[in-house]
């Protein structure tokens, strides 16, 4: 029997046990279900369970693919499993059932993974915390008073607590990297177009959002990128082709001296917590000891313009999603159907012009060219993953007064007045000041990762972000593996068993 040793294995480790017939798939599935049932009541990471059909699969599953027999949790937005509920964290979709597998799910299923459920997300994946009113808050396994981040917060809590070794995630503004930073995990956001979207869409968030996984090991992330990578006909974006295996790169050391830029200053000019700065400075010191050339240098972009462009994406995408909800439900969406922040973003999205939206996309492209030129000099750009350690559960919730104001704005049609004020600038600062570093890579299409390289004095993980030029996931994976073999890589959180 696998027993308690289940939580000590990464995904490839479990697959090797199955391949060499040391354990049966059914034993792994049984242990994964046991972990979910033990951990989930206090963490609220898994919101829907697919046990019944997959217990049978676990007994008769054909062992094929690099993750054959490995339990997997999908993220409850875009990662559709045919016949299963996918709410996107919204009351308006609480009964919606997926009509087909997404291409992401198809590829992971083909790799041999067994789906056991779906993980909690903030409504429409809009927040860097996971506290949807529909499902309630997910909690951080390192300290249950704190958030695991978002929007892949349920996935991060599930992996960090040992429920599963890998889980589906996606990243439209930091939603892989932020939870990875808060939960002590490895989180890689691939290059735009590297992993598939579809078949119901050719782009997610205008290409800002990319799907991948959260994992406890670098090699799991690399192997899953091998599984997922590959252009899909009809998709809006295609990443540069890579001929060699990402998993194969894990054991190839980065055997050259790199030139690396770093900053600990927020692109918004707002505060950065001393622990987040310390995480970067300790990393810089270690890189210099490895022989790399590291210098303090900020990215050649206007942080405020990037943030405003990112929020313009929010406005447009939420307005479009509310229109889609009306088509799905056959009636107009009301304030009561969604959370107040979602409603406000949708109101603004209906007010801003198409010209404003296109102009914001041009900012993405200008930033992309600037960063590619930057990376002709620097192999990597390092920042804190987040500007602050995890927030406490409920700390960032709207007050009753703020919720009332949103209702009043909606009722009196005052949205245009908000736009004429400095409301958007204030919204940028209040919504992004805790997480101002991650959006850049989404808008430019670059790959970026968060590494678990620091624990705060309070014992909470704190991530360090690395960015590279488009298509250079190979460099990120090789560098991540180098760090994984050093004492700087924080150990996995001890798995709770009671």
Tell me if residue 349 falls in helix, strand or coil.
helix
CA-CA distances (angstroms) from residue 17 to 6, 25, 163?
A: 11, 9, 18
Nearest to residue 75, comparing CAs of 40, 106, 115?
Answer: 115
Q: Is 392 a catalytic residue?
A: no
Catalytic hit among 175, 221, 431, 450: 175
Q: Is 175 a catalytic residue?
A: yes
Catalytic hit among 88, 102, 113, 151: 151
- For 422, other C-beta atoms within 10 Å of its C-beta total 11
Tell me if residue 47 falls in helix, strand or coil.
strand
Residue 437 burial class via C-beta count within 10 angstroms: exposed 0-12, middle 13-18, buried 19 and up: buried
Torsion of CA 97, 99, 102, 108, to 10 degrees: 80
The conformational region for residue 64 under phi > 0 = left, psi -120 to 50 = alpha, else beta, is beta
Report how far residue 295's alpha carbon sits from residue 480's, in angstroms, rounded to the nearest whole number: 19
What does the block give as tokens for 443?
A: 């808008």
Contact between 456 and 491 (Cβ < 8 Å): no
Report how far residue 138's alpha carbon sits from residue 147's, in angstroms, rounded to the nearest whole number: 7
Report how far residue 25's alpha carbon sits from residue 380's, in angstroms, rounded to the nearest whole number: 40
Contact between 67 and 11 (Cβ < 8 Å): yes
Q: Is 75 a catalytic residue?
A: yes
**Residues annotated as part of the active site:** 75, 151, 175
């Amino acid at each position: 029997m696998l027993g308690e040793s289940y939580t000590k294995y990464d995904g490839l480790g479990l697959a090797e046990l199955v391949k060499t017939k040391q354990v049966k798939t059914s034993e792994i599935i049984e242990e994964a279900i046991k972990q979910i049932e033990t951990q989930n009541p206090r963490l609220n990471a898994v919101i829907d369970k697919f046990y019944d059909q997959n217990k049978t699969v676990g007994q008769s599953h054909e062992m094929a693919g690099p993750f054959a027999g490995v339990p997997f949790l999908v993220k409850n937005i875009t990662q559709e499993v045919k016949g299963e509920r996918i709410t996107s964290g919204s009351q308006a979709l609480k009964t919606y059932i997926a009509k087909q597998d997404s291409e992401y799910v198809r590829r992971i299923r083909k790799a041999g993974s067994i789906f056991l459920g779906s993980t909690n997300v903030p409504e429409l994946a809009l927040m860097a915390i996971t506290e949807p009113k529909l499902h309630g808050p997910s909690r951080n396994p390192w300290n249950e008073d704190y958030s695991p981040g978002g929007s892949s917060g349920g996935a991060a809590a599930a992996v960090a607590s040992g429920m599963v070794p890998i889980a589906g995630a996606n990243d439209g503004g930091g939603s892989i990297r932020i939870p990875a930073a808060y939960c002590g995990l490895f989180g890689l956001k691939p290059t735009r177009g590297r992993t598939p979207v579809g078949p119901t869409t050719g782009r997610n968030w205008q290409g800002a959002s990319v799907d991948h996984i959260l994992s406890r090991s670098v090699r799991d992330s690399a192997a899953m990128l091998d599984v997922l990578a590959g252009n899909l006909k009809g998709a809006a974006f295609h990443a540069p082709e890579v001929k060699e295996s990402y998993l194969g790169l894990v054991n190839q050391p980065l055997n050259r001296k790199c030139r690396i830029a770093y900053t600990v200053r927020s692109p918004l000019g707002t505060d950065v917590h001393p622990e987040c700065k310390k995480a970067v400075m300790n990393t810089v010191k270690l890189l210099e000891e490895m022989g790399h050339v590291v210098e303090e240098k900020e990215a050649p972009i206007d942080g405020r313009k990037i943030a405003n462009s990112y929020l313009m994406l929010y406005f447009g995408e939420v307005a479009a999603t509310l229109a889609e909800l009306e088509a799905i439900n056959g009636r107009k969406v009301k304030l009561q159907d969604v959370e107040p922040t979602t409603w406000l973003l949708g109101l603004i999205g209906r007010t801003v012009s198409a010209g404003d939206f296109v102009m914001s996309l041009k900012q993405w492209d200008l930033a992309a060219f600037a960063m590619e030129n930057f990376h002709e000099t620097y192999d990597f750009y390092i920042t804190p993953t987040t500007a602050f350690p995890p927030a406490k559960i409920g700390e960032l919730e709207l007050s009753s007064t703020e919720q009332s104001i949103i209702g009043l704005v909606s009722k009196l049609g005052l949205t245009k007045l908000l736009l004429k004020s400095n409301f958007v600038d204030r919204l940028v600062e209040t919504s992004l000041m805790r997480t101002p570093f991650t959006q850049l890579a989404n808008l430019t299409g670059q790959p970026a990762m968060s590494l678990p390289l620091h624990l705060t004095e309070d014992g909470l993980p704190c991530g360090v972000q690395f960015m590279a030029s488009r298509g250079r996931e190979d460099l990120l994976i090789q560098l991540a593996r180098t760090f994984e073999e050093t004492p700087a890589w924080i150990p996995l959180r001890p798995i709770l068993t009671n």
